Chains A and B, each alone.
Chain A
Amino acid sequence: MAAASTSSFIPLKPRPTPRGLSTIAVLKLGAPLSFSFRRPVLAPARLRISCVAKPETVEKVAKVVKKQLALPAETLVTGDSKFAALGADSLDTVEIVMGLEEEFDISVEEDSAQSIATVQDAADLIEELVRKKCA
């Protein structure tokens, strides 16, 4: 799989920012273009090209989220699920990030920890960090 380019990680920004969306494209050899729509980001705006997270990652994130929020195992949690909509306040969000750091053996920048809004955001961030770690 070829990625268009790599760039440094950009911390995700707070949830309620009604700005234009930035579109990230991933070019996979032999596969159609897939687009991943990101939550709006605040300045400084830097173009970020990255991979869309694997379903297994999204699943693992969902598991950590359900555990933190004490949700029944059968609760439907998908990539689009917003932490806040599931009942996470800012303390829960930071605890979820701590849980993810343990689960994936990564380290998330402090300013990102309080800003992650959806399960997909978390999964994408994790894959980016894991990829950089292994690079």
Chain B
Amino acid sequence: MLSFLRRSYLNFSFMNPQYCCLSRNFSAALPPLLPVQLPSRMETHLWYVVPDEVKSAPLLSKYMELLPQSERDHVLGFRGDQLQKSALLARTLVRTTIARYQVDGHLDPRSLRFKRNIHGKPEVEWETKDGFCPPPLQFNISHTSSLVACGVTINSLIGIDVEEKRRRTKNNILAFAKRYFTAHEVEHLNAIPDSELQQQEFIKLWTLKEAYVKALGKGFSSSPFNTFTIRASSGIAVETLDSPQNLTNNWQFALLELMGSHYVAICLERQETGGAGKTLPIKLTARKTIPFVEDELVSGTNAVVTIGGSVTQF
């Protein structure tokens, strides 16, 4: 299917310099994206796509049309159809999601430009037009071959990570944890007698640690996994090894089980407390989507189950 894409996109007029600058006439065949209000300061929006549910080659071809040359090349650089598809859906999801918030009139997903911050974290590069004040929109994406997810907030730094619940490591979990996690985390895993539960706990820890580093946005080398501990006994908190007495209160976490098959870890920069240092729950709105085809609000259903952290679903 993707080889079809490679052939067909070569015939497109993407070399036309006007291609990226159009607003509404991007495609007669695609319906408009359902617009959505920006999240409020306390809200987090989670959007996800299930690649197996996106089967239409013409639709995938249209998604490819949304991307600039460099991103198409990046997608096609992945080995094999499945990897290319999830890479394509990741770029499509982030572009179409941000475009929905219509912060600048009707936004064409193709017109969005992205850049990387000094540490390599992707950001939107808003056009600086007269009178246009770009929204402090923060986003982060994560994907596996079976799930592509994008988290969006206003103002609050966000990191998300998704993983299949049944993901297996090739190495022994404790050997791996001893090498890469902190002593406390090894102890926590070691104390779990059931190997299946231990495996799941490991995956949960991994996604939480990934989400934290991605939220920090400074790259993995600035926060190696053995320099901070995720404590998940009552609530979830992070403790950095260089200041063990102070749980790092700047960050809050949510751990979700999605569709019974995936863990989604979200790490957010704490915006406000509820007075006396009390943490307010994360207000989460989750939507499953096939861009331009369907959107489904799934928060509050059993598709999205909170298994860690303090979360209110809307």
A interface with B by C-beta (< 8 Å): 11, 13-14, 16-18, 42, 67-68, 75, 82, 84-87, 89-91, 94-95, 98-99, 109-115
Contact = CB atoms under 8 A, between A and B. Distances in A.
Contact of A87 (B83, B116, B120, B225): B83
A13 B219 contact: yes
A75 B220 CA distance: 29
B: contact size bracket? 20 to 34
28 contacts: A14-B219, A14-B220, A14-B221, A16-B120, A17-B116, A17-B120, A18-B116, A42-B120, A67-B170, A82-B77, A85-B77, A87-B80, A87-B83, A87-B145, A90-B210, A91-B169, A91-B206, A94-B176, A94-B180, A95-B169, A95-B176, A98-B171, A98-B179, A109-B224, A111-B224, A114-B221, A114-B224, A115-B220
A18 B125 CA distance: 15
A24 B288 CA distance: 47
A72 B311 CA distance: 43
Nearest to A101: B179
Which of A87, A99, A115 has most B Cβ within 10 Å? A87
Given A14-B120, A18-B116, A82-B77, A110 B167 contact: no
B79 A86 contact: yes
Give me the 3 closest cross-chain CB pairs, A-B, nearest first: A114-B220, A110-B224, A111-B221
A74 to B, nearest CB: 13
Interface string B219-232: 11110111100000
B72 to A, nearest CB: 14
Interface in B90-127: 116, 119-120, 122
Which of B80, B179, B227 has most A Cβ within 10 Å? B179
A114 B212 CA distance: 14
A67 B221 CA distance: 25
B292 interface: no
Contacts of A85: 77-79, 83
A134 B177 CA distance: 28
Contacts of B171: 95, 98-99
Given A18-B116, A91-B169, A98 B176 contact: yes
A111 B220 contact: yes
A119 to B, nearest CB: 13
Contacts of A87: 78-80, 83, 145
A120 to B, nearest CB: 16
B144 interface: yes
Contacts of B167: 91
A11 B224 CA distance: 12
B144 to A, nearest CB: 7
A41 to B, nearest CB: 10
Nearest to A114: B220
A111 B225 CA distance: 8
Nearest to A96: B170
Contact of A95 (B77, B170, B210): B170
A11 B221 contact: yes
A85 B220 CA distance: 19
Contacts of A75: 79
A98 B173 CA distance: 12
